[in-house]
């Protein structure tokens, strides 16, 4: 018997990120929905007992904070949004702790910003913490750290955070639970001819056209952020399911291979995950310009970049930062993790590895960028 992707993606998943939106968590702003959160926790506990590792990304802190503060309208002032997040996060963490404990699981609160996942050292620290929690059988409950970072409230959304977390821990799947059944060809609330999309390829530009604009007044997302999140998650090989959060036993049924919601299949294989993540999600701190010979070896032969092929170093970066590789015309041909700082790299330009110790006082890697930590951009 053969299985379609829709029946195997979640059935075979061993590590899953589940993201739940504000309108679901807070019952359209009326306060934390204890029954619904309890249901998701019960389902997650069943999956964990079956050997699946689960990470929860939960919205709802600002909405819950508004409820506790008696605010009817979402404020626009940053400090008020941050205050609401701080108040609401207390209730959110308490609810998940209570409901997961009732289902026999421990929980951990993890507050992240997008900057945590863009900085290499903080990324590795966050990854290590999450993987350790999973090994201990604890469910991490993640939210954006809205109380301290202005940009995260202004531009961030937890759909994107869910995708970045999926990349971070190399999850097999991202499940986005929302107040819609899934993706339609148009907004079914406005267009009677809208057709349901049961399966598509993540990253297909046509999906973004279908998704339209933002959703409810409570959250900051909408279907478009979910489509873009699926595209991000696909970069590390994770397929995404967008499903109705109140669908009975949705997580359990998905894990059994049942087709629920919209499945957006990742075209990228997991072996490409780390390189794809480097290409898409890390901020560049600088670049090196290489000669034609080095450019050909990197671009055409998949070789590591040796300092002897470098002719110029731009920017100010440290060891471990992501930097670009430019050919003599200035075209970026690759990105990778620098083995040397910009100051050291300038000393090593056009030099063979035999001279590194005399120039730097120590001998480290012979490569500026190792091919395992390098991704081609063209």
pLDDT in tens, 261-289: 999 999 866 645 567 667 665 567 899 99
Same domain for 366 and 232, yes or no, is no
**CA neighbor of 277 nearest in space, from 221, 238, 227:** 238
Examine the pLDDT at 154 and tell me if it is beyond 50. Answer: no
Residue 156 pLDDT: 58
**CA neighbor of 153 nearest in space, from 75, 56, 228, 231:** 75
Same domain for 261 and 331, yes or no, is no
Mean pLDDT lowest among 165-179, 264-278, 309-323, 340-354: 264-278
**CATH number, domain containing residue 334:** 2.30.130.10
Residue 270 pLDDT: 61
**CATH number, domain containing residue 268:** 3.40.1160.10
pTM: 0.76
The alpha carbon of 234 is separated from its chain's Cα centroid by a whole number of angstroms, namely 10
End of a domain among 250, 276, 302? 276
Same domain for 189 and 82, yes or no, is yes
Q: Which residue has the higher pLDDT, 59 or 187?
A: 59
Same domain for 127 and 243, yes or no, is yes
Residue 216 pLDDT: 40
Q: How far apart are CA 139 and CA 126, in angstroms?
A: 14
End of a domain among 220, 252, 276? 276
3-state SS class at 18: strand
Q: How far apart are CA 233 and CA 203, in angstroms?
A: 10
């040796």: which residue's tokens?
306
Query: Could you tell me the residue range of the domain that residue 352 belongs to?
Result: 284-376
Three-class secondary structure assignment of 163-200: HHHHHHCCCCEEEEEECCCCEECCCCCCCCCCCEECEE
Residue 30 pLDDT: 82
Region 289-298 average pLDDT: 97
Residue 22 pLDDT: 87
Residue 276 pLDDT: 62
Query: Average pLDDT of the chain?
Result: 87
3-state SS class at 109: strand
Token digits for 275? Answer: 């390189």
Same domain for 248 and 327, yes or no, is no
Same domain for 255 and 305, yes or no, is no
Same domain for 115 and 260, yes or no, is yes
Same domain for 129 and 266, yes or no, is yes
3-state SS class at 11: coil
Residue 123 pLDDT: 80
Say what percent of the chain tops pLDDT 90: 60
Q: How far apart are CA 84 and CA 210, in angstroms?
A: 33
**CA neighbor of 146 nearest in space, from 214, 219, 210:** 219
- What DSSP designation does 375 have? E
Mean pLDDT lowest among 67-71, 151-155, 271-275, 333-337: 151-155
Same domain for 179 and 322, yes or no, is no
End of a domain among 231, 246, 276? 276
The CA-atom distances, in angstroms, between 56 and each of 149, 178, 228, 245 are 21, 14, 19, 13
Token digits for 161? Answer: 């955070």
Same domain for 220 and 299, yes or no, is no
Same domain for 212 and 341, yes or no, is no
Q: How far apart are CA 344 and CA 103, in angstroms?
A: 54
φ, ψ (nearest 5 deg) of residue 329: -85, -5
Query: Domain tally for the chain?
Result: 2
pLDDT band at 78 (very low <50, low <70, confident <90, very high): confident
Same domain for 198 and 216, yes or no, is yes
């Amino acid at each position: 018997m053969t299985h379609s992707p829709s029946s195997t993606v979640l059935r075979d998943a061993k590590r899953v990120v589940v993201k739940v939106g504000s309108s679901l968590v807070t019952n359209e702003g009326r306060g934390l929905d204890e029954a619904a959160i309890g249901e998701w926790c019960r389902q997650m506990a069943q999956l964990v007992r079956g050997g699946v590792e689960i990470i929860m990304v939960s919205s709802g802190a600002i909405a819950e904070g508004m409820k506790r503060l008696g605010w009817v309208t979402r404020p626009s002032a940053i400090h008020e949004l941050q205050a609401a997040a701080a108040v609401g996060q207390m209730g959110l963490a308490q609810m998940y702790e209570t409901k997961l404990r009732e289902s026999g699981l421990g929980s951990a609160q993890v507050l992240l910003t997008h900057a945590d996942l863009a900085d290499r050292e903080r990324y590795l620290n966050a990854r290590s913490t999450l993987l350790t929690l999973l090994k201990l059988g604890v469910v991490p409950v993640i939210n954006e750290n809205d109380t301290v970072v202005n940009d995260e409230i202004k531009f961030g959304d937890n759909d994107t955070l869910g995708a970045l977390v999926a990349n971070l821990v190399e999850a097999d799947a991202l499940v986005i639970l929302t107040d819609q059944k899934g993706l339609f060809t148009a907004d079914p609330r406005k267009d009677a001819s809208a057709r349901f999309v049961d399966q598509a390829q993540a990253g297909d530009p046509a999906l973004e056209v279908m998704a339209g604009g933002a959703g409810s007044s409570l959250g900051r997302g909408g279907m478009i952020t979910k489509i873009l999140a699926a595209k991000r998650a696909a970069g590390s090989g994770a397929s995404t399911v967008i499903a109705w959060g109140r669908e009975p036993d949705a997580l359990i049924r998905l894990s059994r291979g049942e087709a629920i919601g919209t499945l957006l299949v990742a075209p990228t294989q997991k072996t490409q995950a780390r390189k794809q993540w480097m290409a898409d999600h890390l901020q560049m701190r600088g670049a090196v310009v290489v000669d034609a010979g080095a450019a050909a070896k990197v671009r055409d032969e998949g070789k590591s970049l040796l300092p002897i092929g470098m002719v110029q170093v731009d920017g100010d970066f440290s060891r471990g930062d992501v930097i670009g590789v430019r050919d003599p015309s200035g075209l970026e041909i690759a990105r990778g993790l620098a083995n040397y700082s910009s100051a050291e790299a300038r000393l090593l330009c056009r030099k063979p590895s035999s001279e590194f110790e005399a120039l730097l006082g120590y001998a480290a890697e012979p490569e500026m960028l190792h091919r395992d930590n390098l991704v081609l951009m063209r």
